[in-house]
A and B are shown apart, each in its own frame.
Chain A
Amino acid sequence: MSGAAVSAPVASAVRPPAREGDGELLRSDATGLAARLAAGEVSAVEVTRAHLDRIEAVDGDVAAFLHVAADQALAAAADIDARRAAGEDVGRLAGVPVAVKDVLTTIGMPTTCGSRILDGWVPPYDATVVTRLRDAGAVLLGKTNMDEFAMGSSTEHSAYGPTRNPWATDRVPGGSGGGSAAALAAFEAPLGVGTDTGGSIRQPAAVTGTVGVKPTYGGVSRYGLVALASSLDQAGPVTRTVADAALLHEVVGGHDPRDSTSLTDPVGELVGAARRGAAGEGLAGMRVGVVRQLDGEGYAPGVRARFAEAVELLAAQGAEVVDVSCPHFASALAAYYLILPSEASSNLARFDAMRYGLRVGDDDPLATAEQVMTATREAGFGDEVKRRIILGTYALSAGYYDAYYGSAQKVRTLVQRDFAAAFTRADVLLSPTAPTVAFRIGEKLDDPLAMYAGDVATIPANLAGVPGMSLPSGLAEDDLPAGVQLLAPAREDARLYHVGAALEALLLARWGAPLLDRCGQEDSA
C-alpha cells in the first residue's frame, strides 16, 4: 500500500461529469431524479445505465466499489419502468440508483465487509435497510469498499485495496465508509448507505465534500448490518445534499421488530424539516452551541477557518451562538478505543470457519476445529482487525476489566451527561467534523494512534447515541474539502435537517455553485 502512495506523486482528481448528456443526469440530486422519474421524463433504465457507465469510466481511478451488480441493477430498473407504466405505486425512490456499503447483507450480491474471511460470501437474507431500499424502488448498483469490518478511518484497511479520494487520488477518502462517500463525490451514485460506529459516515463525508448522517442510535435498523460494536453501530444516509439525506433517512428509518434495539418512535418529518431550513425559516433565535473541546489545538487552521465562517453565517441569520463546554469529551476517544475493541472481539468470534466464510487448514483430516479456526482467523483477518480483537480481549480479561472496560463505561455516562447539559443551553451543537483534510494514502498506516485521533470529534455522538450530520464547509488545506458537524439530542434528528439545510443554502449562496463543482479545478488555488 505504501507502494501505491509512491506511484502517484502528482495528485490527480476525478472531475465531475460534463453538464450535457448523461452528465446532466449524473449531476442531478436524488430528490430531483425521483421527481423526473415519476413524471416520466427519464426512465429508470436510462438513469441506471448512465451511472453504470460512469462507474465503468472512473472507478478504475477511485475504487469505490467492491462489487458492481450491473445486470441485476438493469433488471431492477426495467422492472420499475414496467411497473410504473402499468400504473403501479413503485415507491419514493423508484429508479434512483444507490450504492450500499459492503457491511449490509444483500441477497444475490457478495457481502465481504472488506475482509478476506468473507471473500465471496453471498448472504441468504437482506438487511432491513436493503429491504426498505428495494421496497421503495431504489436500484442497487453494488457494494462499496470499506475498512475491514469497519475498523479504520481511511478505507486503507480493506483487504481489497484502498479507495481513492476523488479530490486527489493520492489521498484517502476517509473511513470506514470511504467507498460510499467516494462514489457520491465521483458522481458514480446519487445515493449511498453507510454505517457509523465512531464517525464512519460523517468523517468520509467531510473529507470528500459530501453529506453524511448518523441517525439517533436505534433510528435505523441494524438487522443485517454485520456487527462491529453493537452499542455504537448505526446505519445512515450518504448523499450530496441535505434534502437527499432526509429523503433516504425517511425511507430506511423507523421501527424494525427484527432489531431489539430499534426505536419505536416514528421517523418524523425530515424532508419537511430540510425544506423549512433551506427556506431560512426558524433560524432566528435558534441556539447554536459551539463545543469548546472540539476546536482549537489539533485542528488544522483551514478547517477551523471554514468552521468559523459557517458559524458566522448562521449568526447573521439570527441564530444565537453560545459557547458550550463538554469537559469529558477529552476522554471520549480513550473510552471508545476500549469499548469498541471489547464489543468487536466478542462480535467477531462468530467468524470461526464453521458456518460461513473462509476455512483454511482442514486438508489435514486430523486437524481439530480449534486448529482450523485459529489458522483461518490468522489468514482471514488483516492487521487492524487482529490488533483490535487482541486489545478487546485484553480489556475484558480478568484483572483488567474494571480498570479498562468498566472505566470506559463510566466515561460513557459522563459524556452523556455533558451532552444533556449542553442541550439545555443549545438546540444544536456545532464543530468541525474532522480535525484535518484528507491525508495521504499510507501516511498513517503504521501508526494506529495517529489514525484514531481523526475520530476525536465524531466519537462522542456514538457513545451517547445522539444523531450527527456532516456537510461541506468549504475548501481548507491543499484546496481539499472540510466538513462541519451538527449534533442534536437523541430522537431530534429533524433538527439536523432543519439547521443543516439552512447552513447548506447559505454556503451555496456564498459559493455560487456546489462545492463538488470545484473538484479538479486548476484555478481553485
Chain B
Amino acid sequence: MSGITRDQVAHLAHLARIELTEDELDRFAGQLDAVVDAVAAVAEVAADDVPATSHPVPLTNVTRPDVVVPPLGAQAVLAGAPAAEEQRFRVPRILGEEA
C-alpha cells in the first residue's frame, strides 16, 4: 500500500500549485517515499470500531453576539497586498486558463 513515485510527487505538486524543479522532484521522491513508508503503519493500528478524533477538545455551536465591530479598513488591508488598484486587490488574469 505504501510507496510514492516520482510521477505521483509531480502530480501532487501540481495539485498543490507548486512548480517543482527536476532536482526537487528527484530529492523529494526518495525522501517522501521513506516518510510514507514510516507513517503507513497507522492503517494497521486502529480497529474499524474506533471513532475518529478531529479535534482535541470537543466544542459545539460556538457563537458570539452578532454585533458590528469596526473593520480594519481597505487601506490597512491593501497595504500588504502584492498589487492593489481602486481599493481592491489587483490579480493576474483569471480567464483563459487551461482546465
Answer whether residue A28 sits at the interface, using C-beta atoms and an 8 A cutoff: no
- Tally of A interface residues using CB under 8 Å: 74
Against B, the Cβ 8 Å flags (1 = close, 0 = not) of A364-385 are: 0011111111110110010100
Answer whether residue A87 sits at the interface, using C-beta atoms and an 8 A cutoff: no
How extensive is the interface on chain B, given as a class? 35 or more
B96 neighbours in A (Cβ, 8 Å): 368
Against B, the Cβ 8 Å flags (1 = close, 0 = not) of A255-274 are: 00100110100000000000
Answer whether residue A355 sits at the interface, using C-beta atoms and an 8 A cutoff: yes
Answer whether residue A307 sits at the interface, using C-beta atoms and an 8 A cutoff: no
Q: State in angstroms the CA–CA spacing of A261 and B83 once bound together.
A: 33
Against A, the Cβ 8 Å flags (1 = close, 0 = not) of B13-46 are: 1011111110010011001101110111111011
Q: State in angstroms the CA–CA spacing of A295 and B54 once bound together.
A: 28
Q: State in angstroms the CA–CA spacing of A216 and B18 once bound together.
A: 35
Answer whether residue B68 sits at the interface, using C-beta atoms and an 8 A cutoff: no
Answer whether residue A200 sits at the interface, using C-beta atoms and an 8 A cutoff: no
Against A, the Cβ 8 Å flags (1 = close, 0 = not) of B58-92 are: 01001010000000100011011111000001011
Q: Is the CB of A373 within 8 A of B56?
A: no
Answer whether residue B7 sits at the interface, using C-beta atoms and an 8 A cutoff: no
Q: Is the CB of A390 within 8 A of B72?
A: no
Answer whether residue A412 sits at the interface, using C-beta atoms and an 8 A cutoff: yes
Q: Which residue of A lies closest to B64 (CB)?
A: A257
A232 neighbours in B (Cβ, 8 Å): 56
In the assembled complex, the CB of B94 is this many whole angstroms from the nearest CB of chain A, namely 5
- List CB contacts (< 8 Å) of A455-508 with chain B: 462-465, 490
Q: State in angstroms the CA–CA spacing of A192 and B52 once bound together.
A: 35
- List CB contacts (< 8 Å) of A290-344 with chain B: 328, 331, 334-335, 337-338
Answer whether residue A221 sits at the interface, using C-beta atoms and an 8 A cutoff: no
Among the interface residues B17, B36, B42, B46, which one has the most CB atoms of the partner chain A within 10 A?
B42
A357 neighbours in B (Cβ, 8 Å): 80, 82
Q: Is the CB of B45 within 8 A of A368?
A: no
Q: Is the CB of A353 within 8 A of B93?
A: no
Determine chain B's interface SS by DSSP, over half rule: loop
The stretch that binds B, out of A118-126, A172-180, A246-254, is A118-126
Q: Is the CB of A338 within 8 A of B39?
A: yes
Q: Is the CB of A448 within 8 A of B43?
A: no
A413 neighbours in B (Cβ, 8 Å): 46, 50-53
Q: Which residue of B lies closest to A412 (CB)?
A: B53
Q: Is the CB of B79 within 8 A of A389?
A: no
A371 neighbours in B (Cβ, 8 Å): 92
Q: State in angstroms the CA–CA spacing of A404 and B37 once bound together.
A: 11
Answer whether residue A345 sits at the interface, using C-beta atoms and an 8 A cutoff: yes
Q: Is the CB of A449 within 8 A of B64?
A: no
In the assembled complex, the CB of B21 is this many whole angstroms from the nearest CB of chain A, namely 8
Q: State in angstroms the CA–CA spacing of A374 and B21 once bound together.
A: 12
Answer whether residue A411 sits at the interface, using C-beta atoms and an 8 A cutoff: yes
The stretch that binds B, out of A52-60, A71-79, A90-98, A391-399, is A391-399
A124-B72, A390-B12, A403-B43 are known contacts. Are A354 and B53 too (CB-CB below 8 A)? no
Answer whether residue A359 sits at the interface, using C-beta atoms and an 8 A cutoff: yes
B19 neighbours in A (Cβ, 8 Å): 374-375, 377-378
Q: Is the CB of A407 within 8 A of B42?
A: yes
Q: Give 26 CB contacts A-B under 8 Å.
A: A218-B59, A231-B54, A260-B62, A334-B42, A338-B39, A354-B91, A355-B81, A355-B82, A356-B81, A358-B82, A368-B92, A369-B93, A370-B97, A373-B17, A377-B19, A378-B19, A386-B13, A386-B20, A387-B31, A387-B32, A390-B28, A407-B43, A411-B46, A416-B56, A449-B35, A462-B56
